[in-house]
Chains A and B, each alone.
Chain A
Amino acid sequence: MLAYILRRLLALLPMWLAVSFLTFSIMYLIPGDPLVSILGPSASPEARARMLESMHLNDPFWVRYGKWLSSAAQGDMGDSIFLDRPVTQAMAERFGVTLALGVGALLFALLLGLPAGILSAIRRGRLLDTSVMTTALVGLSTPEFLLGLVLIYVFAVELRWFPVGGYVPLREDFLDGVRHLVMPCFTLGFIWAALVARMSRATMLDVMNTDYIRTARSKGLGEWTVVWKHALRVAASPITTVVGFVIILIVSGAFITEIVFSLPGMGNLIVSSVLKRDYPVVQGAMLFIATGVLLINLLIDLLYAYLDPRIKYD
C-alpha cells in the first residue's frame, strides 16, 4: 500500500506542473498593459520602470514562469495588485469562510442525499422512489443563485428567521455564525444532494441485482440485514467516489453561493479579482484550488483502493 501511495504521489507531480503551466499561460494571455491597471494611465516612466523590474515583467515567458513556479512551490504567490497584501495572506483570510461553507454544504448533501438514494433504491418504483427522484431532478435543474434568492426572500425577508447574508466567524459567536451559514450551506448542499441521491440509488440498484444479494435473500435473511450487512458494504466504495466528486463540485459552486449571500470567502475574492484583473490573485487561487482538486482525487482513489479489496496496488 505504501509503495502504491508513493507511486501515485509521484504521478501527481507532472500533473501539478501541467496545471501550473496552464494557470500561468492563461493569465499571461490577458490583453492590455498590466502596469496601466496597477499604476493608472498617468504613471511616470520611472515608476513604470521600477514596477516592470519588481514584477519581472521584462523577462521572457519561460523565465517568468520559472520564477513564479519556484516561489509558488515555496508558498509565495506574489502580491495582490489591489489588496495591498500578499496573495497567500488574502487567500488565507478568506479560506476559513469557504471551508465552513463547504463542510456545511457537504453535510447537507450527504445527510439528505445518501439516505434518500439508498431508500429509493430499496423501495424502487414505489411512491417514495418517485418522489425522491422527482425532487432530485428539481434539485439538479435549479441554479444555486435561484435557490439562494428564493430562500433569502422566504426565510430572511418575509419570515425573518435568518439573516439576508454576511458572515460571523464561528469563533466569535458560534450560534450567530451558524445562523449566517444555514441558508448558504443548504443552498449549495441541496443541489448536490440531488446528485448524491441519484448516484447512490444507481449504485445500490446495481448491487441489489447481484448474485450474492440473491444468495443472502435465499438464505432467509431479513431485507434490512441484506441491505445493511451486504449491499451497503459493497456500495460504499463507489459512493466514496461520488462524495469526492461532490466535494469538487461544492468547491466550484461556492463562488456563486458566496456572492448570493455576501460571504467574504475565496469565491468572492476570485470573482472580484477577475473583474478587477488582479491577476496575481486569480493565478494564485487557480493554482491553489486545482492543487486541492488533484489531492482530493488522489485521496478518493486511495480510499477506493482501501475499501475495495478487488483493486490491486499495481
Chain B
Amino acid sequence: MTSGKGTPSAWERFVAGLRRALRQRPIVFGGALLVLIVLASLLGPLFSPHSPNRLTVAFLEPPSATHWFGTDNFGRDILTRALHGARMSLAVGLMTALFSSLLGTIIGMIAGSSKRLDAVLMRMMDVVMAFPSLLLAMAVLAALGRNVTNILIALSIVYTPRTARVVRSSTLSVREEVYIEAARALGIPWWRILARHVLPNVFAALIVQATFVFAYGVLAEAGLSFIGVGIQPPAASLGNMLGDGRSIIREAPWMSFFPGGVIFALVMGINLLGDGLRELFDPRLRKR
C-alpha cells in the first residue's frame, strides 16, 4: 500500500516505525510487562470476588487459594487492593507525565526560541529544581491539602523543570536549522513555526523524558503514600499498603512484599520502555 507518489503514507511510516520499535528488546519486554499490569489492574478487580475496602474477620491470612496475595490486618484481600493501587499508580504516573510534558514543552520551547525570556524562565526552573523533589511535593501537599488532585499538581510542578530543560536544549539545536530560517523568511508566525516545525523535531526527546517522568511519578506517589503524605486510607495505593505492612513485617511479610513487587514490576516495565525508546531515537546509543 503506497501513496502512489513515491513517498510513504502516514500508515506506512507508522508500520515501519512500529517494526523498528519491536526490534528493540527492552521495548518488547517493558511494553509486555506494562500491558500485563495495565490489563490486570483494569480487568482484575472486575473478576475479583473481594472488595478492596470491605473489612472482614480474615485478618492476616497468608497467601492461599482464596486470597492469592493473603489478607491484611483489616481482613482485606491484598491482591484486589494491589490491583486498585496499581490503577492509582498508573493514573498518577501517566497524568504527571502528561501535565509536566505539556507545561515543560510550552516553557522549554518559549525559552529555547526567545532570547529575552530564556534566562528568566530557566532561572525559575532552577529555583524549583533547588528543592529535592519529594520535599517540594510534600510542602505543596501541606499547603494545598492531601488528595489525588493535589498530588498530581505537586508532582507536575516538581517534574516540569526537567522536561523544560530537555525541550529547551532540543529547541536550541533545531532553531539554527536552515528550514526554520526559511520558515521565518517566509513570514510564518513564530507560534506556527514552533507548533509545525520545532515541536515534531523535539518530540523524540520529549517522549523519552515523559517515559522517565512516568516512572518518577509512580515512585514519588508510592513514596509519598508510604510516609503518609500521599493517598489517604482507606483508598488503596501501593505505597500506603507498604506503609501499613511495615510495622508488622515480622508477622505478615506478604502485606509488604506483594504490593512492593507490583511497584517494582511497574517501574521496571516503564524504565525498560524508556531505555528502549531512547536507544531507538538516538542512533549514537544504538552503536554501543
Chain A positions near chain B (C-beta within 8 angstroms):
14-15, 18-19, 22-23, 26-27, 29-31, 124, 137-138, 140-146, 149-150, 152-153, 157, 205, 248-249, 251-253, 255-256, 259-260, 270-271, 274-275, 277, 279, 282, 285-286, 289-290, 293-294, 297
Given the known interface contacts A124-B288, A143-B260, A143-B263, the answer about A255 and B135 at a Cβ–Cβ threshold of 8 Å is: yes
Known: A149-B249, A150-B257. A256 touches B226 (CB 8 A): yes
Contact between chains at A145 and B127 (CB < 8 Å): no
Is the beta-carbon distance between B123 and A293 smaller than 8 angstroms? no
B286 to chain A, nearest CB (A): 12
Complex CA distance for A27 and B135, rounded to whole angstroms = 13
Bound Cα distance from A252 to B128, whole angstroms: 14
Q: Which of B144, B242, B253 contacts A29 (CB 8 A)?
A: B144
Interface pick from B77-85, B167-175, B267-275:
B267-275
**Contact A19-B127, Cβ < 8 Å, known A31-B145, A142-B264:** yes
**In chain B between 237 and 288, which residues have their CB closer than 8 angstroms to a CB of chain A?**
239, 242-243, 245-246, 249-250, 253, 256-257, 260, 263-264, 267-268, 271-272, 275, 288
Which chain A residue lies CB-closest to B268?
Answer: A141
**Does any Cβ of A come within 8 Å of B24's Cβ?**
no
| Nearest CB in chain B to that of A260: its residue | B246
Task: Tell which of B130, B136, B246, B253 has the most Cβ of chain A within 10 Å.
Answer: B130
- Complex Cα–Cα for A284 and B184 (A): 49
Q: Could you tell me if B130 and A282 are in contact, using CB atoms closer than 8 angstroms?
A: no
**CB–CB B246/A149 < 8 A:** yes
A72 to chain B, nearest CB (A): 15
For B133, the chain A residues whose CB sits under 8 A away are 252
List 14 contacting pairs A-B, 8 Å CB cutoff, sorted by A. A18-B124, A18-B127, A19-B130, A137-B268, A141-B264, A142-B264, A143-B264, A143-B267, A145-B242, A146-B263, A146-B264, A149-B245, A275-B229, A293-B131
Residues of A within 8 A of B58 (CB): none
The answer for the CA separation of A22 and B127 in the assembled complex, in Å, is 8
Q: Quick one: CB contact mask for B112-147 with A, threshold 8 Å, 1 for yes?
A: 000000000001101110111111101111111100
CA distance A10 to B170 in the complex (A): 29
Chain B residues, Cβ within 8 Å of A279: 142
Asked whether, in the complex, the Cβ of B268 is within 8 Å of the Cβ of A138, the reply is yes
Interface majority SS on B: helix, strand, loop or mixed?
A: helix
The 8 Å CB contact of A145, one of B128, B132, B223, is B223
Which residues of chain B are near A152, meaning CB under 8 Å? 249
Given contacts A18-B123, A157-B250, A290-B130, contact A26 B143 (CB under 8 A): yes
CB <8 Å contact, A157 and B249 = yes
- Which applies to chain A's interface (DSSP): helix, strand, loop or mixed? helix
Q: How far is the CB of A87 from chain B (nearest CB, A)?
A: 15
Query: Complex Cα distance A248/B126, Å?
Result: 14
A293, B144: Cβ atoms under 8 Å? no
Residue with the highest number of chain A CB atoms closer than 10 Å, among B124, B128, B142, B246: B142
CA distance A152 to B245 in the complex (A): 12
> Which of B132, B142, B272 is in CB contact (< 8 Å) with A293?
B132
CB of A162 to closest CB in B, whole Å:
14
Q: Is there contact, CB below 8 Å, between B288 and A274?
A: no
Contact B131 A271 (CB under 8 A): no
Contacts of A274 in B (CB 8 A): 138-139, 141-142, 229
Apart from A19-B130, A142-B264, A289-B135, 13 more pairs, CB < 8 Å = A15-B126, A22-B128, A23-B139, A141-B271, A143-B219, A145-B222, A149-B245, A153-B249, A256-B227, A271-B229, A274-B141, A286-B135, A297-B130
Contact A149 B242 (CB under 8 A): yes
User: Which of A14, A27, A149, A260 is within 8 Å of B139, CB to CB?
Assistant: A27
Nearest-Cβ distance from residue B144 to partner chain A, whole angstroms: 7
- Does B131 lie within 8 Å of A270, measured CB to CB? no
- Which residues on A sit within 8 Å (CB–CB) of B130? 15, 19, 290, 293-294, 297
On whether the beta carbons of B142 and A30 are closer than 8 Å, the reply is yes
Of A19, A146, A256, the residue contacting B134 (CB under 8 A) is: A256
Interchain CB contact under 8 A, A143 and B275: no
* B63 close to chain A: CB less than 8 A: no
- Bound together, the chains give a CA A192 to CA B61 distance in angstroms of 36
**Cβ contacts under 8 Å, A271 to chain B:** 138, 227-229
Select one of A153, A255, A277 contacting B227, CB under 8 A.
A255
* Chain B proximity of A207: nearest CB distance (Å): 13
Q: In the bound complex, what is the Cα–Cα distance between A14 and B268 (angstroms)? A: 40
Residue of B123, B126, B135 with most chain A CB atoms under a 10 A cut-off:
B135
CB B163 to nearest CB in A, in angstroms, measures 17
Pair B257/A251 contact, Cβ less than 8 Å: no
Q: Can you name the residue of chain A whose Cβ is closest to the Cβ of B270? A: A141
Residues of B within 8 A of A14 (CB): 123
Q: How far is the CA of A270 from the CA of B128 in the complex (A)?
A: 18
* Measured CA separation A237–B156 after assembly (Å): 32
> Which residues of the other chain, A, contact B142 by a CB distance below 8 angstroms?
26-27, 30, 274, 277, 279, 282
Give the residues in chain B near A15, CB-CB below 8 Å: 123, 126-127, 130
User: Within 8 Å CB of B242, what residues of A?
Assistant: 145-146, 149
* Distance of A259 Cα from B135 Cα, bound (Å): 14
